[in-house]
Structure 1
Amino acid sequence: MKKFLIILIAVIAVLVIAFMTVFVLAKTKVIFINEWFVDKNNSTIGVDLSSYQADVDMQKLKEQHIEFVYMKATEGSTHQDEKFAANWANAQKAGLPSGAYHFFSYDTPGSSQAENYINTVGDDLKGRLLPAVDVEYYGDKKENPPAKEDVIRELTVFLNTLEAHYGVKPMIYTGADIYNQYLQDFSGEYKMWISSLYTPLSWNYKGDWYIWQYLNRGKLEGYSGGETYIDLNVLNKEKDLNDLIVK
């Protein structure tokens, strides 16, 4: 009996050490374990991209069983992604469900950011995926986070303006850190697209979600002249992609 307990304790110790090692390696971005938790053969997989991927062949992405794509359209009040127009047209031509996202700035008014998005994307989103807003830290914002009331005020203006214009509630993309600090009080109104790149989503986020961005080191064929990698996303198996399409 004593020998059995010693062996049991040793096995448990080895398993704990192995788990902690994997956890540390994942958190320090040495290994990427999320692919272990995503069944790509039985899931709805999508990508998000921007000018960083340079020239994108949407048909080639589709041939690799990519079933939806989000592309950057705008950032802040004045910036437009230089590849957006081409990506937007080519996704439609390929019959690939596609949406446009806006990178939210803490430094300019939500109203002018919404105007930038609408002027760039256009008035008709019928058949496209919901407009999305990317809310994350940038620059020194993590070390010097903006006041919550300021973020909520301007983000609300942005979201309400897009909803009034397009007749649909936008989707919010964010990570668990931003969600916990700013968004959990009001995000229940919106469909959520959550980024958790180094550990499974369920480890650090407990809310409802539609899309999980699980890897920023994906490699596919169909884009050239820019980044080697592309972001990979998976649709929640309990959700329907059609619920994200503007009717």
Structure 2
Amino acid sequence: MAYGMLKAVGAMVVAGAIGIGGWSYATAWHPKTSQYPLQGIDLDERPGPIEWGTVRARGADFAYLVATSGADRRDPGFEANWAALPDAGLRRGAIHLYSLCQPAKDQANAVNAFVPRTTDALPMAVDVSFRGDCTARPDRDALIADLKTFIHMVETHTAKPVMLRVSKPVESTYQLTAAIERPIWAMRTFFAPTYPARPWQMWRASDVRRIDGIEGPVNWDVVAP
């Protein structure tokens, strides 16, 4: 009996060690820089304090920041982080979280009023995902038309093509990457995504990576070579 209990405890310890080791590997993993030389991060809303110099030292070449969400939300930390990135040696890009519940023109006006037009900025990214605060599911043709209106207005302001970040559930429902010819930012942790209709230009490769300079997990991205 005692031997059996010891054996069971030993097995649990080994399994726990394997689990801890696997999680440690997962939180440190990123695609090889030999394959993807340009790598960086994107932040969720309200990310908290960031030590940008440390982030740069840990291998990030760029950072994308959420600026606006829908027609009426502005991230309170965007302006300070946006201003800090060039001094840290990081390229900077802004993200708009597109709402299926609010008019495209109002959302574009919110972006254009808040996000500076700067020559050093990376292309604006528009994220189209299903969110808990919006249950609307417009017809495909209506959504595509609205997104094209939004894109035209924002590109007129930024003077650069936007990047389209589409989640897999949205792409499965609407096939947006086949309908809107803009650079694609796809998302899939650990494995290169295959769901877009066209080759992606950027890939969010991990949403669990941990690096110095940021508290908690970070979204890690790579640019197609």
TM, length-normalised to structure 1: 0.73
* Equivalent position amino acid for 1:236 in 2: A
Residue matched to 2:177: 184
Secondary structure, aligned partner of 2:208: strand
Question: In structure 2, do the counterparts of structure 1 residues 34 and 145 end up closer, same or farther at CA, with 3 Å as the change threshold?
Answer: farther
Residue matched to 1:212: 203
Cα deviation for residue 216 of structure 1 reads 0.7
Q: Distance in 1 between matches of 2:27 and 2:49?
A: 27
Residue matched to 2:71: 77
Cα deviation for residue 179 of structure 1 reads 2.5
Structure 2 stretches lacking a partner, 5+ long: 1-22
RMSD of equivalent CA atoms: 2.6
Question: In structure 2, do the counterparts of structure 1 residues 32 and 214 end up closer, same or farther at CA, with 3 Å as the change threshold?
Answer: farther
Instruction: Establish whether residue 229 from structure 1 lines up as the match of residue 217 from structure 2.
Output: yes
Q: For this pair of structures, how many residues does the alignment match? A: 201
Instruction: Establish whether residue 89 from structure 1 lines up as the match of residue 83 from structure 2.
Output: yes
* Equivalent position amino acid for 1:39 in 2: K
Residue matched to 1:53: 47
Residue matched to 1:128: 121
* Equivalent position amino acid for 2:153 in 1: T
Q: Pick from 190, 193, 204: which aligns with 2:185?
A: 193
CA offsets, 1:25-72, max 9 Å, x none? Answer: xxxxx9997987821465221100134420112111100110111000
Q: Distance in 1 between matches of 2:196 and 2:159?
A: 29
Secondary structure, aligned partner of 2:220: strand
Residue matched to 1:99: 93
Answer whether contact 1:50 1:81 (CA < 8 A) is retained.
Answer: no
Secondary structure, aligned partner of 1:149: helix
Structure 1 stretches lacking a partner, 5+ long: 1-29, 238-247
Q: Distance in 2 between matches of 1:51 and 1:171?
A: 18
Answer whether contact 1:50 1:83 (CA < 8 A) is retained.
Answer: no
* Equivalent position amino acid for 1:167 in 2: A
Residue matched to 1:119: 113
Question: In structure 2, do the counterparts of structure 1 residues 141 and 116 end up closer, same or farther at CA, with 3 Å as the change threshold?
Answer: closer
Q: Distance in 2 between matches of 1:172 and 1:79?
A: 20
* Equivalent position amino acid for 1:126 in 2: T
Q: Distance in 2 between matches of 1:199 and 1:140?
A: 29
Cα deviation for residue 174 of structure 1 reads 1.2
Q: Distance in 1 between matches of 2:221 and 2:25?
A: 14
Question: In structure 2, do the counterparts of structure 1 residues 61 and 206 end up closer, same or farther at CA, with 3 Å as the change threshold?
Answer: same
Q: Distance in 2 between matches of 1:45 and 1:230?
A: 13
* Equivalent position amino acid for 1:155 in 2: L
Q: Pick from 135, 140, 143: which aligns with 1:148?
A: 140
Secondary structure, aligned partner of 1:99: strand
Q: Distance in 1 between matches of 2:58 and 2:112?
A: 31
Question: In structure 2, do the counterparts of structure 1 residues 193 and 31 end up closer, same or farther at CA, with 3 Å as the change threshold?
Answer: farther
Residue matched to 1:162: 154
Answer whether contact 1:48 1:231 (CA < 8 A) is retained.
Answer: yes
CA offsets, 1:70-92, max 9 Å, x none? Answer: 00000000100111011101112
CA offsets, 1:136-187, max 9 Å, x none? Answer: 1112768x63321221122111101011222221111112332243203323
Residue matched to 2:11: none
